[in-house]
Structure formats: structure tokens, C-alpha cells
A and B are shown apart, each in its own frame.
Chain A
Amino acid sequence: MKKSLILIFVLCLGSINLAQVTPSVSNLLRYGNGNQTLGSSEKKFQYFENLTDVRISFPKQINVGFRFLYDDPPEVGANFRGLSKRFIEYRDKGLFVRVGNSSELYSRGLVLNLFENRGLAYDTWIDGVKASYKYSNLKASLIAGTIDFRDSVNIARHEKYKLRGGNLEYKIKGIGKLGASFISAEATIPQFNNNKIANVELPELYFDLNYNEFDFHFGWASKWANTPIDKSTSRGNGIYSSLSFAGENLGITIDYKNYKFDLQDPFLKNDATRTTKLLPFQNPPIVMKEHSYTLLTRSLHIVDFNDEVGIQLDAIYTVNGDLNFNLNMSLSSTHNSYLYNSSEFSFTVEQENNLLPSTKINYSPFSEIFIEGEYYFDLETALRFGFASRTKTLYNEFTGANGSHTIKSYVIPMQFQNSLSSNISTTLQYELEFVNDNFNIDQENFNNHFLTIIASLFNKATFAIRYEFTNNDFDPSNRKDWLVGELGYRISGSNLVSLSYGRERGGQICSNGICRYILPFKGFRFSLQSNI
């Protein structure tokens, strides 16, 4: 361990002095000491994470990189000490070859989207080989290797995949693109005392059309999964399409999803051991808004890629350079409604709904309308004001409407930022949420408040206070308020240090100019981010 650290340090220092070799190092240290909150229970928790990404560029377009990870323990996920990623790559004109750990994305991710999200401890990077070659308008990509996937939410889910595949894309100048992908994988999925092997094949076809201000994308993917031990085969498919208009003052995007990667009745749908579900290396578009306001990032609708149909409209209108509006509307639901036959313990499809989402309660609908206005008084002073209405239902097919969970909420977010002088600027953000939750039986209606004040001094230091309050007497945390203070300091352009103390409810927080997702925690936190 110690030798590896010394090696990294010497390699970085040494390579700085070699004329032809360019090192690049980024480091992220995070430390926390306090109590972690999970529902109403609290436990003592101390975490220490250090991630060092080193990338060394050699002449002739050769790059070597590795990540030294010290997660003992991390805030989320499993402990790890050692080299977690390493690669060597070569790129020259249209050719690119990489051996080692890689991310990858084919089209919009219907069959392959390998990525890492440290905050959520989600990592589907492959360990193997990937290559691509671009010649004129044609691009071909190949990938082969293994994925070791651990689900941080369900730690029993430790799956391994042997994956190989490819993608071919042809660009028609001035018109669009045509593409096809194929992925084949052998999955090893733990099931109680033994492992189940599943063979999966995923073909994909897609095209893009561009015409003046209009862009159209259509993608279709199919999924065939076979589990020999069960002698079972499952077939599914998914469609994602988008149409966008990019005008001078107006931009409109309409997205559509129709995911049936593993359409099953409620019995099988709720079987967590099923091997035919959407695979972790697939990650198609969610077709709903990704919010940056804190209260809107909570209680999110979880997209079921195995069974969901939905549509989204997003419009941006710029009245002039200083006044902008954003309207976003999305609706999604399951494909079918089912009738439960309690004497036979079986389900029958009551009504199929294959093309468009339904607002009927027995299709577990999710709907959201969000509108935001942004006005710049000048380049340093801006006011943002929004309104969101959101309803989500999780229908219980066994009990019907009485046992179904519906949450309705209205959120009013507002933010004002102002520069008091060339050295001092402030941001004030307030969010108010009205919630109706039918499972919060003794108090169905309650409010949440979120307030944050950020002061930025001399373009170097930030001081932030975040305060939250709820009048929900039955909040799972048994608390009504949360208060955190945070100090941030920029040592140089890309070296940031931050210290915080207090109790955090969690969610996405923007501080020190960066947005991130924070888990509920009470105590002291320290982070240092460096990049050279």
C-alpha cells in the first residue's frame, strides 16, 4: 500500500520534469465524522475517502491512467483500498484503442451506457478492451470485457457480466445519422445459495434526422434473455425518440419513451430475484426533468425501465437576453392495468395501454409541470422564480386504490443573486413545498421549507448556511429542522477546500459553485479537491 503511494507520488513528480511527458493529477479527499441518518435511526459514522486520478500523456498519443482509491469506509458503498482503475490508450487520427477500465455509451444508452456515479456508488465501467475507428463518415466501435457490478442499495446484488459488442454509425452529411449496435452478455447473478447464469442479447437500431431548426432521433432496442437453469426465456424491447426545435428565441424538445424490457404481471414484477430485468449496463433516457432545486430533487419518481411509457415536453423561451422562461411537462405510467383474482392468486391484463401514458390511478401515473422564470437585472444580479406541481402514484394491484400510495406536491422555488461590490456577492434561495401524502395517515398535508444563504468573498471564500424546516409531525427522521453551516475556500483556481458542520437532510446541494448530492448526516465534514 505504502509502496504504491510512494510510486504514485514519485511518478507524478518525476514526469513533470520530462519534456515529452505530461502528467495530470486530480485528487478528492472527503472526511466526515458524526452520525449517519437512515430513517428515524442514527448511528455513529466516520468516513474517509480519497480518490487520486493520475493521467500521464506520453508522446505518440499514448496515455496511461490509473486511480488509487482509499475508501475506508466510504460514505456510500463498499470499502476499497488499492488501484481501482487503470488503463492504457492510444489515439491517432480516427483510431482509438483502450485497454483496461473504460466507460462507454452507444447512442442514447438503450443497450449500452457504462458510467460511474461516485455519490450514488454506481459503477458499471468495463474492464477489458474498447476500440473505435472513424473513417470519413463511418465510425465503428468494439467493446469486450467484464463488469463487476455491486448495487449500493441492495448489497446482496453483486453481479458479474462478460460482455462483448459493437456499434456502427454512418453520418449522412447535412441529413443525419444511421446506427446499429449489438451487445451480447453472459450474466452471473447471485440467487440465495447459488448463482444463476443468464445469456442476454441486445440489438439496437437508431437514426437521427436534421432539417433546419429541427432534429429528430429514433432508437429501438430489443432484449432477449435466457436462463438455462430455469429453462426460461424473456423478450422485451424499448423505444426512445425525441424531436427538438432550436429557434432563435424558442427551443422546444419533446421526448418519448416506451420501455418494455421485461413486462411482467405484478407477481413477477415484484420478484427481486428475477434475472430478466433491465441490466445495469443499460441506462436509457428517463424522459423527465433533472432538477437543480433541492426540494425538487427529493421524492423523485423512480423510472421502471422494464415497464414504463412516457412523454416530456420542455420549452425554453427567451423574451430578450435578460428574461427567460422554461416550461417542462412530463407524464409517465405503466403499460397495463391488471385484475387480481384472489381465489386463483393470479393476474389478468384488464386493459392494455401500449403507446401513450395514462393518468388513471391503476397505471401508477407520474406527472409533473414545472415553470421557471429567470431575469437578469444585469450580469451580476439575477432573480429566478419557479413553480412545480407533481403527482405520483404507486398502485397496489392486490388491494386496489385503497392500498395505493399517492403523493401530490407543489413547490415554489426562488433564488436571488446579487453582487454587492466587485468583491462580495450573495445568493439567497428559498423553496416552499406543500405536500399531500395519503400514507402519512395522521397528517396527510404538511409543508417543507428550505432556505440557503451564500456569501462569496473576494472570489476566494464562500460562507453558506442551509436551514430546513418541516411541519410534518411524522417525518421518518423524527425531526423538524436541519441546520448546516459551510465554509469554502479556493486555495488556487482548481484547489477547493470546504468544511461544514451541522445536520443535513440530504438531497442535491449547490455550494462553492458545485452541485452535489448529499446523504442525511449530522456532524463535521471536510473535503479537499485538487487538480493539476
Chain B
Amino acid sequence: MKIKFFYLLILIFLSASNIFARGNIDFSTETLNGDDIEFSEINKKGPTLVSFWALWCKPCRAEMKHLEKLYKKYSDKGFTIIGINQDSPRSVAKVKSYVSSHKITFPIVTDSNQEIFQMFNGQSIPLTVLFNKDGKIVYKHTGYLPGDEKKIEVELLKTFEKTN
């Protein structure tokens, strides 16, 4: 019982805190097009949004549509999105055709053994993390609810303002 109470204390601390750790995350991987990318190199160019998604996840697919719109709107200001696909080897062969037919233009990488997802300490998808140009996490959400894309845009505009 005492242990459960102690857990509750930890959870209250975690839940009440809206602090985000500095990024300190870097990974190198290969996009669906076969290009090698390094997160830190991309992030140097501007704010970067990392979105974990999968084909079987309907909320993820709904969010991807909004993210593509955001990417088109702000990519010329240095904003980049990296879509990290979490499909297991069961479905990973279908990812490229999905991305291409839905005209998703930002870089997509596959993470079938969840190596990158573990770096972000993810529990469930969709998980969306926005880094500013200095590599600091400025916004993060788990799950997708309509309106989340507006929050991302607000946070993104804040990072642009701070940079300027």
C-alpha cells in the first residue's frame, strides 16, 4: 500500500510537471529514399518536429495529413518534419507506397525495432515532439486530438519569434 502511495507521489510530480528536458537526442538513420540523415544536422537548420506513426494507427494517419500541411507552409523557413514509422516487419513493406500515394513530402524513416522510439522513451503512438533550433524540446504530445496541429503551429511560431 505504501509503495502504491509512493508511486502516486511520483505520478503527481510527473503529471503536474510540464517541463521538457533538453533534447540531447541524436540519431542517424536512412530515409525511405535511401538517403542517410543525421537528426542533429537537420535540426541545425531550423525547428524540427519528430512524429512517430504507424499504418495501423488511425489517429497517426489523421495527424500526418495536418503535418504535411504544416510542413508545406513553413519548410521554407527551415522547419523540417521527420516521420518515424513504427510498423513492425509485418507491414513495413507497405510504408513507401502509402507515403508516396498520400503525397507526404517530408522525410520518412522506418524504425521497425523501435530503437529511435526508445530513445524518446515513448510509451504509445502517435508521439509528436517539437525541437527548437538549439535542440531543445519545446512541445510534446502523445495521442492525437483534433486541434493538436494548431498547438504545434503556435509553438512553432514561438520558436521562429525567439530565433528572430
Determine if chain A interacts with chain B.
yes
Query: A: which residues have CB within 8 A of B?
Result: 1-2, 5, 8-9, 16, 22-29, 48, 50, 52-53, 55, 57, 61, 63, 65, 70, 103-105, 107-109, 113-115, 171, 173-174, 210, 213, 215, 217, 242, 244-253, 255, 283-286, 290-292, 314, 316-318, 321, 324, 376, 379-380, 382, 415, 417, 419, 422-423, 425, 456, 458-460, 462, 490-497, 510, 512-516, 528-532
A215 to B98, CA, bound (A): 13
Query: B: which residues have CB within 8 A of A?
Result: 2-4, 6-7, 10-11, 13-26, 34, 55-59, 62, 65-66, 69, 87-94, 96-103, 112-115, 118-127, 139-148, 150-151
Q: Apart from A459-B151, A510-B59, what 5 extra A-B contacts exist at CB < 8 Å?
A: A53-B121, A103-B118, A213-B100, A290-B91, A530-B14
Q: Residues of A contacting B120 with CB < 8 Å?
A: 24
A50 to B7, CA, bound (A): 8
In the bound complex, do residue B89 and residue A532 qualify as a contact, i.e. CB atoms below 8 Å apart? no
Q: Residues of A contacting B94 with CB < 8 Å?
A: 244, 251, 253, 314, 316
The residue from A290, A510, A514 contacting B90, defined by CB atoms under 8 A apart: A290
Task: For B146, give the chain A residue with the smallest CB separation.
Answer: A425
Distance of A354 from chain B, by nearest CB (Å): 23
Q: Residues of A contacting B17 with CB < 8 Å?
A: 492, 532
The residue from A48, A242, A318, A496 contacting B102, defined by CB atoms under 8 A apart: A318
Q: Residues of B contacting A25 with CB < 8 Å?
A: 14, 121
Q: Residues of B contacting A459 with CB < 8 Å?
A: 145-148, 150-151
The residue from A253, A317, A532 contacting B14, defined by CB atoms under 8 A apart: A532
Q: Residues of B contacting A27 with CB < 8 Å?
A: 10-11, 14
A460 to B147, CA, bound (A): 10
A423 to B94, CA, bound (A): 35
Q: Residues of A contacting B123 with CB < 8 Å?
A: 26, 28, 53, 529, 531
The residue from A8, A318, A456 contacting B101, defined by CB atoms under 8 A apart: A318
15 example contacts (A-B, Cβ-Cβ < 8 A) are as follows A9-B13, A23-B21, A104-B113, A105-B112, A210-B34, A242-B93, A246-B100, A285-B93, A462-B145, A490-B143, A492-B15, A493-B141, A493-B151, A496-B142, A512-B145
In the bound complex, do residue A513 and residue B7 qualify as a contact, i.e. CB atoms below 8 Å apart? no
Q: Residues of A contacting B3 with CB < 8 Å?
A: 1-2, 5, 70
Task: For B144, give the chain A residue with the smallest CB separation.
Answer: A513
In the bound complex, do residue B89 and residue A113 qualify as a contact, i.e. CB atoms below 8 Å apart? yes
Task: For B68, give the chain A residue with the smallest CB separation.
Answer: A321
The residue from A48, A108, A495, A515 contacting B15, defined by CB atoms under 8 A apart: A495
The residue from B55, B69, B93, B148 contacting A244, defined by CB atoms under 8 A apart: B93
Q: Residues of A contacting B148 with CB < 8 Å?
A: 459
- If A290-B90, A456-B145 touch, whether A251 touches B6 (CB-CB below 8 Å) is no
A422 to B87, CA, bound (A): 32
In the bound complex, do residue A103 and residue B21 qualify as a contact, i.e. CB atoms below 8 Å apart? no
In the bound complex, do residue A515 and residue B96 qualify as a contact, i.e. CB atoms below 8 Å apart? no
The 6 closest A-B pairs by CB, nearest first: A251-B97, A513-B143, A246-B100, A105-B113, A459-B147, A530-B14
A23 to B26, CA, bound (A): 14
In the bound complex, do residue A292 and residue B58 qualify as a contact, i.e. CB atoms below 8 Å apart? yes
Q: Determine chain A's interface SS by DSSP, over half rule.
A: strand
In the bound complex, do residue A493 and residue B18 qualify as a contact, i.e. CB atoms below 8 Å apart? yes
Q: Residues of B contacting A247 with CB < 8 Å?
A: 100-101
A159 to B102, CA, bound (A): 44
A496 to B127, CA, bound (A): 12
Q: Residues of A contacting B142 with CB < 8 Å?
A: 493-494, 496, 513-514, 529, 531
The residue from B102, B113, B144 contacting A115, defined by CB atoms under 8 A apart: B113
- If A25-B14, A104-B113, A246-B101 touch, whether A286 touches B90 (CB-CB below 8 Å) is yes
Q: Residues of A contacting B93 with CB < 8 Å?
A: 217, 242, 244, 253, 255, 285
Task: For B155, give the chain A residue with the smallest CB separation.
Answer: A493
Q: Residues of A contacting B88 with CB < 8 Å?
A: 109, 113, 115, 283
Task: For A321, give the chain B residue with the smallest CB separation.
Answer: B103
Q: Residues of B contacting A513 with CB < 8 Å?
A: 59, 126, 142-145
- If A113-B89, A513-B144 touch, whether A491 touches B15 (CB-CB below 8 Å) is yes
Task: For B16, give the chain A residue with the smallest CB separation.
Answer: A491
A255 to B89, CA, bound (A): 12
A144 to B119, CA, bound (A): 22
Task: For A23, give the chain B residue with the smallest CB separation.
Answer: B21
The residue from A1, A16, A24, A290 contacting B56, defined by CB atoms under 8 A apart: A290
The residue from A210, A244, A415 contacting B97, defined by CB atoms under 8 A apart: A244
Q: Residues of B contacting A23 with CB < 8 Å?
A: 21
The residue from A55, A114, A318, A493 contacting B121, defined by CB atoms under 8 A apart: A55
Distance of A69 from chain B, by nearest CB (Å): 12
A201 to B11, CA, bound (A): 46
Q: Residues of B contacting A22 with CB < 8 Å?
A: 21-24
A29 to B58, CA, bound (A): 24
The residue from A2, A103, A217, A286 contacting B2, defined by CB atoms under 8 A apart: A2
A5 to B147, CA, bound (A): 37
Q: Residues of B contacting A380 with CB < 8 Å?
A: 146
A275 to B99, CA, bound (A): 42
Q: Residues of A contacting B56 with CB < 8 Å?
A: 290-292, 515
Task: For A105, give the chain B residue with the smallest CB separation.
Answer: B113
Q: Residues of A contacting B14 with CB < 8 Å?
A: 25, 27, 495, 530, 532
Task: For A116, give the chain B residue with the smallest CB separation.
Answer: B114
Q: Residues of A contacting B141 with CB < 8 Å?
A: 490, 493-494
Task: For A242, give the chain B residue with the smallest CB separation.
Answer: B93
In the bound complex, do residue B101 and residue A24 qualify as a contact, i.e. CB atoms below 8 Å apart? no
A63 to B27, CA, bound (A): 13
In the bound complex, do residue B24 and residue A251 qualify as a contact, i.e. CB atoms below 8 Å apart? no
